[in-house]
Chains A and B, each alone.
Chain A
Amino acid sequence: MGGRTVAVFTGDLDVTADAVIMELHRRDVPVVRCDPATFPAEIMLGARFCSGWTGHLRTGSRTLNLSDVACAWWRRPTPITIPGDVPEATWVRREAVAGLRGVLSALPWLNHPDDIRAADHKPLQLAVAAAAGLRVPATLVTNVPAEARAFAEDCGPVVYKPFTAGILDSGHVIYASAVDPRTLDDSISVTAHLFQQQIPKAYELRVTAVDGHLFTARIDATTDKGRTDWRSDYHNLRYSTYDLPVDVAAKLRTVLRRLRLRFGAFDLIATPGGEYVFLEVNPNGQWAWIEDETGLPIASALADALEKEK
């Protein structure tokens, strides 16, 4: 493969993708935006392998020539859905996913979807970050109440945070939150839980990495709620650009390399003692609001990365 077109796989309402697509349009780079959710009902795939994959992916309004892709970007696609009245719908969906994803897998990617999947595991991230020389908080993953209580006693104070998006069907949200050890009861056994030693914070850093370029925003929370998890109190945050120490930047690049990521959004704590502590790296993290708040040119960097074939 190899070409000039940028393929963006995401849902229609992903306005973060809009920022990069607008930048690519400004540069006259051809873009095909596609939500795989509509495959196979509204997307036509025809791919043939000879010496390489050729063919097309046709959406309602665009055709992606598979041999003309400079880079593909797996942003926030929505799941493929097969109507329930289709015979053997589960198998049909499995085949649709395997066929489409299989062909797309051979494209050049800004974060290959399989690498995103592998890097999503928080326990893996902590191990990779520690191996890269970053300080990481003491962490417990358990569904055993006694383990949780012992961890709180050994490492307290501790926080709880979910492994995945904390959005519940009820519309409620789970943020990182301080744990009262007295509440560590049998409810721990219902599922896997992640507890971490609470690290004293001077401020937090959001480091958005694109092809080795690090865009660092300092986040100062002005409320206790925001200091525990800045996501819980967006209205009371202050942002500024920040110069990351060279050695810390080098360690973050090592993490990205080991996780095979070209893009990543790191969350770090800067302690009152001047240490930097790794919390997590999100291989598909949000960044547009950081650009709005700080002027850091992340959309432009992403457009740069997508324009050139890797």
Chain B
Amino acid sequence: MSDLPADDVAVKAVGVAKTFRLPTEQVSTLKERVLHPARRQRFDVLRALRDVSFEVGRGEVFGIVGRNGSGKSTLMKCLAGIYKADVGEMWLRGRMAPFIELGVGFNPDLTAHDNVLINAVMLGLTPDEARARYGAIMDFAELHEFAELKLKNYSSGMQVRLAFSVMVHVDADLLLIDEVLAVGDAAFQQKCYDVLDRARNEGRTILLVTHDMGQVQRFCDRALLLDRGRVVAIDESRRVARAYTHLNFASASERESFVRAADRDPDEQHVVVVDGWAQTRADGRTARLEPGAESAMAMRVRFTRAAVEPAFAFTITDEQQRRVLSMSTDRQGFATGEHDAGDEIDITAGFVNHLAAGRYWLSVQVTEAAGGALLAFREDISSFVVGGAGAGGGVVDLPHGFELTPAPSMQPVTDEP
């Protein structure tokens, strides 16, 4: 038996496991039971969750990610009290509302008005509360004029809007959201994002099941990665997103070398990356770069063995994990010199900052001479923000100017002398 969760913990799971028994032989009629009383039903045992433990702080947005069949929806359903966990304990704090599906209890033969009330009650409101919030729900959905229309006459988009609006107005302390945000068009998605942001700002705790890594990085403070029912990682969402990408797409050998470089014992390394950061000429070390500022990426490395002309590289990636800028001493033919064991040096790569507004991550690596073996690699060693009003969706914000001139055909014709 574990103790009650601490005050600032909204969700706590300890050693949760869930097994489904899937009958391999369909013996579900009484006749077969009677005719073959001795035959035991045979089952495939599916271990959907194994020893899952985690805590989510109050006000945290927590992602649950994993491939199809990894157990994320099962975990959500256990938390929502739909499935009963076989072993383990789960604790919640505050009123919980489950959004396993939009529009639970919707009946196509009833009006939007009736459906809103049913759905809201299913999600935990009392009928009185549901009636009191009905106006606000229809306002938010912008469907007032269709309130008395039967739901089956609604377009699917309108139904989603209605269901989502109910969900927004249930205002629980703890939201369990299972991929419901994957539906709808771009405008709807944007609305979802706004609502999520607002819920976060109001201090609600949100558990978000998704396999959209963009969503995880955009919203979640932390995330949990499940693989075949086990917890693979619980970490800052960006790291989890990367782990997920590796799990999914990396070839076995790639995964191997990635793990080796990251996990190598520091004593065996020739070079240790001590630190990495962004800086500007004006402010020195900083986590914020202004557009157009003279900026630089920097790393500090310590040599544990002598090295000749090692190559240093900086890579900047954006929130979508796109590589936006890569700078290496090797490509520029920059001479890095000879270093003895025990030397510690700073290397900086200066540039004028033309990155678009947003958040970026710095990764650094050191290799033996040009094209040599990898000596040290630190992914996402630090992050920084580029300020400014944004570049209208571009990756870079290059200096540009405008000019307006009449087209040549519009030039005054001067054929008369």
Do A and B pair up? The answer is no
Interface residues of A, Cβ cutoff 8 Å to B? none
Residues in B lying within 8 Å of A, measured CB to CB: none
